[in-house]
Amino acid sequence: MTSNLTKEDILDILNATDSEIIKYMSETIKYQENKLITYSKNVFIPLTEICRNDCGYCNFKKNPDDPEAIILKSKEEVLETLKEAEQYGCKEALFTFGEDADEEEVVQARLEEFGYETMVDYVVDICQMTLDETTLIPHTNGGNYSYDDLKKLKEVNGSMGLMLENSSKRLMELPAHKKSPGKNPEIRMETIENAGKLKIPYTTGILIGIGETKEEVADSLLAIRDLYDKYDHIQEVIIQNFTPIPGIEMENWPEPSFLDMIRTVIAGTLLFGDTDVSIQVPPNLNNETAQIFLLCGADDWGGVSPVSPDFVNITSPWPGIDELEKLTVDAGFELTERLCVYEKYVNSEWLNDSLIDQISRF
């Protein structure tokens, strides 16, 4: 299966103006028949804030000598947070951490103190603990991994994720990625493809407003579609807007326009409209404008937590579930909770018996 949209079609959408935008928006209606908008109730746990990348837009990474930095959370700390999340009815345990954090001596020393050689070994154990001692389902998002490391993580994760951000190597020369070797799109595409080879239910997406051209947006969306067509493992595509935060390198960088976000969400919806891939727009980054994206075809709000902040976008609090429901219903849709792994993947082709058993509790 391949999309009936060409690169030229996508560029027409991304360059649309005036009534053309309304026309394209109306075309998304045919993909909104069930009127359901989904979200996952999660707890967001940053295992470490140390990272080898130094992205110009990042508010997450901390320096190892920062006294407030999370060097590495202990299993006891993680379990305490997981147990609290259970009390709030959370079903997804989102584990994030800086890419290749164990290249830093302080993280390596803490790992050795805990009895582990690598960050991946520790994360696998954290996820196994989550399955053994809670009802939550692990979802790990910690950057690029080798094929072998993904294979280990697959056994203890309901789903995993990695933002492609953009498929253009040109962005490696711009403030967003010039100090971030892990943001090389060739490496990221390889990680996403390996996840497909291993049959890992996967989340990816693009970041809008970091210096990309419309053509690079089109290429990025098509690259994701190609991987989906090949492996069928991509369950949702995030369209995320850059938001400046005081203190980051790109604090004076312009945000993408509201219309650029509208056009990109429409393009994503129409590109994946003949599939069961969800289009997700983070509601906390679009408080005043979130509803319009539902009218452009977005059908998922992503992870929303009643327990923890969005540590990656710390200045953008999540809306409460009640508030999210009001926004959704007011736009003519129905809010419904989902798991971090979509239903089509809950079978022995994609998940082992242990994960299926954990998921069957809900």
* Largest separation between any pair of C-alpha atoms in the chain: 62
Distances (CA, A) of 29 to 222, 237, 269, 298, 299: 21, 18, 10, 11, 11
Q: Report the alpha-carbon distance of residue 27 to residue 225 in Å, rounded.
A: 19
Backbone φ and ψ for 281, nearest 5 degrees, come out as: -125, 125
Q: Is 312 helix (H, G, I), strand (E, B) or coil?
A: helix
Spatial contact of 138 and 170, defined as CB atoms under 8 Å apart: no
Q: Report the alpha-carbon distance of residue 308 to residue 357 in Å, rounded.
A: 26
Place of tokens 């979802």: 139
According to DSSP, the residues that pair with 137 across neighbouring strands are 92
Q: Is 180 helix (H, G, I), strand (E, B) or coil?
A: coil
51 is in an annotated binding site: yes
Q: Is 196 helix (H, G, I), strand (E, B) or coil?
A: helix
90 is in an annotated binding site: no
296 is in an annotated binding site: no
Q: Is 234 helix (H, G, I), strand (E, B) or coil?
A: strand
C-alpha neighbours within 13 Å on the C-beta side of residue 44? 18
Give the tokens for residue 319.
């809306």
Q: Which residue ranges make up the annotated binding site? A: 51, 55, 58
Q: Which residue ranges make up the annotated binding site for [4Fe-4S] cluster? A: 51, 55, 58
